[in-house]
Amino acid sequence: MREGQVIERLRRIASAPEARGLVDDVAVLDGLVVTHDTIVEGVHFFPFDPPASVGWKLAAVNLSDIAAKGAKPAGALLSLTISGGGDWEMEFLNGLEAACESYRLPLIGGDTVGLPERAPRVLGLTVLARASGVVPSRATAQPGDNLWLVGTVGDAAAGLAQLRDDSRASGALVEVYRRPVPQLAAGEALAPVAHAMMDVSDGLLLDTLRMAQASGCTANIDLAALPLSAAFIAERGQSVEQRIFAATGGDDYALLAALPAETDPLSLSLPSGTTIARVGTMTAGSPDVRLTDGVVPIRLPEVLGFEHRGNPASPVADRP
């Protein structure tokens, strides 16, 4: 069973307006923005990943959802599974604490539970944040909007590939995979002018399709415009094939914003050193994604990103 089928069933239960029809990554309840993410050993992180990096990542992936809504972190609830002697959990908590301190995210409660021997770790975090204004949805992009990407794509997928080849791999790409940086300040600056915004976690093409479907527009993405880091280019180059790899890899935790054509995000108070690039447009038409390399049309790849299934193809084991 695909993730989308499960969500369709859940919509019958999550019918309150605060749930936003489950087309967004957050709920909005009495001025609070609420999100929850779970990460699973063997699916979202390797058993040999440093526990502290897993703790950091659990906080960061939740904060990325908050960043896409322009909200400020207010508190977090942790679901922690415990296995073995507890050394792994202590290191995990060190990483979580470092992320909470870095992004001023108070831990205010949660739950702990013991695991059966050799069971994979399943870790969850719920984050609450305060919105200072309109909370942009992924469902309100409009024809004529420009699509802007904050951050680079492909680094985490390239780091993951390195770790699949060598569990001792290190360097900039592995660090991005293990310790993503949520774009909180950039999200706060963009939210007041964005028609729609979401974070990119499952692959740029797949997440762009989700925005297009939720908004009822056609999204046009230009591969040639994708922001690639120097480390990615040094490792893999920047051919069309590698740009498609970057656009479908996932774990980027960049922000995708649909901005009115007259809005220049470079005129906003973005943090110094922010990477931001215009990567496409929204046009009237069927909810779909169209891909070009400059002006040359490109066939969409068969796999647009990572989507969970009932028996998931683990991204850290045998992801295509």
Checking if the pLDDT of 197 tops 90, the result is yes
Residues 120-149 as b/e (b if ≥16 CB within 10 A, e otherwise) read ebbbbbbbbbebeeebbbbbbbbeebbbbb
What mean pLDDT do residues 147-172 have? Answer: 97
Checking if the pLDDT of 185 tops 60, the result is yes
Higher pLDDT, 199 or 84: 199
Report the run of H or E that residue 114 belongs to, with start and end: strand 107-114
Distance between CA atoms of 289 and 221, rounded to whole angstroms? Answer: 7
All domains of the chain, ordered by start, with CATH? 3-130 (3.30.1330.10), 146-298 (3.90.650.10)
Checking if the pLDDT of 54 tops 50, the result is yes
Confidence of residue 315 (pLDDT cuts 50, 70, 90): low
What SS3 class is residue 81? strand
What mean pLDDT do residues 102-124 have? Answer: 95
Question: Among 15, 18, 16, which Cα is nearest to 33's?
Answer: 18
Distance between CA atoms of 299 and 112, rounded to whole angstroms? Answer: 47
What SS3 class is residue 267? helix
Question: Among 268, 152, 148, which Cα is nearest to 196's?
Answer: 148
Distance between CA atoms of 171 and 245, rounded to whole angstroms? Answer: 19
Checking if the pLDDT of 300 tops 60, the result is yes
C-alpha 241: how far from chain center: 22
Poorest-confidence range of 144-148, 205-209, 307-311, 315-319? 315-319
Contacts (Cβ under 8 Å, ≥6 apart) of 36: 62, 124, 125, 126, 127
DSSP annotation of 195 reads S
Q: Amino acid identity of 164? A: R
Question: Among 276, 88, 251, 234, which Cα is nearest to 175's?
Answer: 251
Distance between CA atoms of 146 and 281, rounded to whole angstroms? Answer: 4
Contacts (Cβ under 8 Å, ≥6 apart) of 306: 202, 203, 206, 250, 315, 319
